[in-house]
Chains A and B, each alone.
Chain A
Amino acid sequence: MSEFFSSPAMQNFIAILQDAIAILKSETAMGIWETLYSTVLSTLFAYIIGLPLGVLLVTGEKGGVRPLPKCLMSALNFVVNILRSVPFLILMIVVLPLSRFILGTSIGTKALIIPLVIAAFPFIARMVESSLRETDKGVIEAAQSMGASPFLIVWKVMLPEAKPSLISGATIALTTIMGYGAMAGIIGGGGLGKIAINYGYYRFKAIVMWAAVILLVILVQIFQSVGTRLAVKSDKRIT
């Protein structure tokens, strides 16, 4: 047994393992924190832009509660589609000057938030749009018959009625943004993705890479199961 452990191959493996553990010990906590805060903040900002946009995409169309000029709706749809179709890796690089302009820096976790928001808000707008389209037309009609203004219909009817679906959508958005954020190691953004790329990919430390990936998987699992549970619990149609 001791012979097995003292064989040169095994000695080598143990050395690699110890090295990996040392790296993970010093980097993991920071990595998780950076991943969480870039994900959560990006999602938040992306919703600040994407939610109203998604509402407009539903209410502004012909037959919506507050129709907008057709050319404006076409323009909105066009912008959303364009942004949706640019690969995140390209978008991230294209947006670098904008990050520098807004935050004064184009590297680091903070700088990562800008491309994440820009990549995520059109996606979120579409998610919100599809959630709101589920709202029963009859309920909207009922609110109109009571004399509710378009704003009140959105605020008091469409959003609350679509709440479970919006929560499901937010969960998907959050996990997707986390996935995007993991690519940010490329531009010097922080987080678990950076650990995986810097140590695992650039320096061939496969164990570190897989450990970082497994941590990402665990985070996604937690977000998803909490989100699903919240969505189900908030839905009063299920008794």
Chain B
Amino acid sequence: MSSQKPIVELAGVGKTFRGPEGEIVALDGIDISIKKGDIFGVIGMSGAGKSTLVRCINLLERPTQGKVFFDGQELTAMTAPKLRQARRSISMIFQQFNLLMQKTCLKNVCFPMEIAGVKPSEAKKRAMELLNIVGLPDKANAYPAQLSGGQKQRVAIARALASDPQVLLCDEATSALDPTTTRSILALIKDINRRLGITAVIITHEMAVIEEICTHVAILDEGKAVEIGMVEEIFSNPKTEAARKLVFPDGLPVSHLKSERVVRIVFNGGTSYEPLIASLAIDCGVKVNILGADTKNVGGKAFGNMLIGLPNDPNEAQKALNYLKSKKDITAEEVTDYNE
């Protein structure tokens, strides 16, 4: 799906807000290039600057530094009417849906076409098609207040598609929805991406959203893009503290726990009811330190891995290691590059 041409490019984008307590740097030197057809995720803790970043793409927020390009044209250099024209190719959906509450769903979907000066009869026809695509043809004459959150977001997506955009910006689009609805909205976005070739930019604080649909991800921390790359690469090997926090949200900041020798245990589906660490302590009389764990219990079997720190006494450490290696259904190996 991905071609090599960037559709959205941020070059050294920075945004500083002037508040009553001095300047607040929301974004700092962001360089992001999003290729046509990608589903590009931007993740970060709240306050990391995600919403500001996505608003800098369509210039709802004007960056105080750097340039923004869309399809090769510099948005930051455009006049207001030109920019409004360009914005029709960059649609946006929001956490709070932002539908016109006094208009029917059909009128809501017609709205971008009304702005663009499409004939009302044509707009109506196209709007019906779009409501069909998002699976709500029967809600054409309903008002947004009569819909559930998921349905509202579907209408918002139909509205976003009405201007035949090249890019769909999703600002925490699923954050107000329950997990099941979230999944169905994500599936819809993925489907739109695949069928219509629309590039999607997904802003979220939920790792699950990125895992589910994104091809690329940028990790934002305190206004800086600390890691950018393919989702698998970043997830399998998070290099920065911020990335690690997001990938292992419950894990302790591992680097704070120092240990001489560290062993990684991989559970290959042994019974999870057998208390490994406890039996290690009882059988060998060795106390180990759990540095981090990411395990899942699937049907009574343990999968995942755990990092443990061995005691500093070499004899005890060897004893523990031998014990672990003797266990079946787990693989134990010493991690040498842990205490770098």
Residues of A within 8 A of B (CB): 136, 138-139, 141-149, 152, 156-157, 160-161, 163-164, 234-239
Contact of A156 among B101, B111, B143, B169 (CB under 8 A): B111
The distance in angstroms between the C-alpha atoms of A138 and B60, with both chains bound, is 11
Check A236–B102 contact: CB distance below 8 A: yes
Check B90–A236 contact: CB distance below 8 A. Answer: no
Q: Chain A residues near B112: list those with CB within 8 A.
A: 146-147
Q: Is B114 an interface residue (CB 8 A)?
A: yes
- Please state if A161 and B101 are interface contacts (CB–CB under 8 Å): yes
- Tell me the bound Cα distance from A239 to B60 in angstroms: 32
Give chain B's interface secondary structure class: mixed
Complex contacts, A143 vs chain B, CB 8 Å: 111, 115
Return the contact of B100 from the options A147, A152, A157 (Cβ within 8 A).
Answer: A157
A138-B94, A156-B111 known; A149-B101 Cβ under 8 A = no
CB-CB under 8 A from A237, the residues of chain B are: 101-102, 143, 145
Question: A238 CA to B144 CA in the complex, in Å?
Answer: 10
Provide the bound-state CA to CA distance between A87 and B300, in Å: 81
Kindly specify which of B81-89, B126-134, B179-187 makes contact with the partner chain: B81-89
In the complex, whether B174 has a CB less than 8 A from a CB of chain A is no
Other-chain residue from B99, B102, B145, B163 in contact with A146 (beta carbon distance below 8 A): B163
Answer yes or no: B217 CB below 8 A from chain A CBs.
no
Q: How many residues of B contact A (CB 8 A)?
A: 31
Determine chain A's interface SS by DSSP, over half rule: helix
Q: How far apart are the CA atoms of A136 and B94 in the complex, in Å?
A: 13
Chain A: CB-nearest residue to B90: A145
- Per the bound structure, the CA–CA distance linking A187 and B213 in Å amounts to 75
Q: Kindly state whether residue B98 has any CB partner on chain A within 8 Å.
A: yes
| Complex alpha-carbon distance, A100 and B169, angstroms | 60
CB distance from B237 to the nearest CB of A (A): 36
Q: How far is the CA of A160 from the CA of B96 in the complex (A)?
A: 19
The closest CB in chain B to the CB of A157 belongs to B100
Within 8 Å of chain A (Cβ to Cβ): is B103?
Answer: yes
Complex CA–CA separation, A35 to B93 (angstroms):
51
Q: Is B91 an interface residue (CB 8 A)?
A: yes
Partner of B84, one of A149, A156, A164: A149
Minimum C-beta distance from B138 to chain A (A):
16
Given A156-B111, A236-B143, are A147 and B101 neighbors across the interface (CB < 8 Å)? no
Please, how many angstroms separate the alpha-carbon atoms of A156 and B114 in the complex?
A: 9
B58, B81, B143, B145: the one within 8 Å of A145 (CB): B58
Q: A152-B115, A156-B115, A238-B145 are in contact. Are A145 and B91 (CB under 8 A)?
A: yes
B240 interface residue (CB < 8 Å to A): no
- Whole-angstrom distance between the alpha carbons of A143 and B100 in the complex? 9
- A160 and B103 in contact, given A141-B60, A147-B88 (Cβ under 8 angstroms): yes
